[in-house]
Amino acid sequence: MEDKHPPIGEYIVIKALENGVTIIGLTRGKDTKFHHTEKLDKGEVMVAQFTEHTSAVKIRGKAILYTKHGEVETGV
């Protein structure tokens, strides 16, 4: 039997490397929409979780993302 529900509960950690890093949560479903934004200043950390409402995260600015798949640096 095929599971039609996407996996949820995945976490990522985002650490800002500069002031004004913007994190944007995007919705699941037929139309992708912005549903939440946050601003981080240098050194601030946010823990984000993928849920039944959040399918993607967009990040603007210099930050490091820590995931179970490894680290990614943005804005380089």
Q: What is the CATH number of the domain that holds 29?
A: 2.60.40.50
- Looking at residue 52, its pLDDT comes to 77
pLDDT for the residue 75: 87
pLDDT score at 8: 66
pLDDT of residue 63: 98
Give pLDDT, residue 15. 98
> Within 13 Å, how many C-alpha atoms sit on residue 16's CB side?
17
Does 27 fall in a domain?
yes
Interacting residues of 49 by C-beta distance below 8 A, sequence separation 6+: 8, 9, 10, 11
Residues of the domain holding 43: 11-74
Backbone angles phi, psi at 9, to 5 degrees: 100, -5
pLDDT in tens, the chain (76 residues): 455 555 567 889 999 999 999 999 888 777 777 778 999 999 999 998 888 777 888 999 999 999 988 999 998 7
Count how many domains the chain has.
1
Three-class secondary structure of residue 19 per DSSP? coil
- Residue 3 within any structural domain of the chain: no
Cα 48 to Cα 16: distance, rounded to the nearest angstrom? 13
